[in-house]
Amino acid sequence: MDYLHVLKSQRKTPSDSFFKHTVYGLRYAYRIAGMKEMRVVLPSIEQPKKLPVVLSHNEVRQLLKAPRLLKHRLVLAMLYGCGLRNFELCNLQLNDLDFDRRMLHIRQGKGRKDRYVPLSQMQIRGLKKYIAAEHPANWCFNGYDRKGNPSQLSTMGVQWIVREARKHSGIQKGITPHILRHSYATHLLEMGLDIISVKDLLGHAHIQTTLTYLHVAQLGRQKPFSPLDRLYKR
């Protein structure tokens, strides 16, 4: 406990992540040592009350048209249009695409769970054009390893594509692949899809995780507005 107190009180305070993993590491050490009744009660980790950053519809359109290459536009379209996590996009294979049923099979997502999400007709047209031009062999989106050999697209490669698209789109918000997933969930709720369906599409284990988007989505009988809009309305 003295060690943990020093970590939190010293002048050069470590990051919350470092402190969190120190506590989790000690808890794990207790567990593998068979210490069911802990002699030292470790502190609970306070979860930050943060809301996700979400793009507007117009910002999504700006981002999607920013890349010059069709492959890069499709990467963005899959992240936003299917709500994929970064690693789920990288793991997509050609046999996961079901154009007839307009569905995408996501295999072994977070928690090692499979799920299906819908594909839009726009995505299907783009994917067919991309496959006919690029002829990917196994992975839906190919990248290159350190030796320059073809391999599956890396998560760092996806992050680079998103960063470059944001740079050329003129959008001021910081954008990551996960922000496109946040935007997917929020926009679905705003378009009328129920929270349980959104939970299943995102692959969340607990509904509490999905409920966060209710604080961001503009829902309700009357859309929220600023009083300035009414104050100066002619």
* Residue 102 confidence (pLDDT) above 90: yes
What is the CB neighbour count within 10 angstroms for residue 102? 13
Active site residue 110: yes
Q: What is the pLDDT of residues 128-140, one digit of tens each?
A: 999 999 999 889 9
* Residue 181 confidence (pLDDT) above 90: yes
Residue 93's beta-bridge partner residues? 139
CA–CA gap between residue 137 and residue 97 (Å, rounded)? 13
Of 72, 166, 181, 187, the catalytic one is: 181
Is the overall model pTM greater than 0.85, yes or no?
Answer: no
- The reported pLDDT for the residue numbered 137 is 86
Share of the chain above pLDDT 70, in %: 88
Q: Which amino acid is at 153?
A: L
DSSP secondary structure, 46-87, as one string: PPP--PPP---HHHHHHHHHS-SSHHHHHHHHHHHHH---HH
- The reported pLDDT for the residue numbered 37 is 62
How many residues appear in the chain? 234
Of 85, 166, 182, 187, the catalytic one is: 85
Active site residue 85: yes
- The reported pLDDT for the residue numbered 141 is 94
For the chain, give every domain's residue range. Answer: 1-47, 57-215
Q: What is the pLDDT of residues 202-228, one digit of tens each?
A: 999 889 889 889 888 887 656 666 676
Of 21, 115, 168, 178, the catalytic one is: 178
CA–CA gap between residue 199 and residue 189 (Å, rounded)? 11
Q: Degrees (nearest 5) of the Cα angle 59, 64, 70?
A: 170
The CATH code belonging to domain 57-215 is 1.10.443.10
Tokens 């959104």 identify what position? 198
* Lookup: tokens for 217: 């989505």
Of 31, 65, 110, 113, the catalytic one is: 110
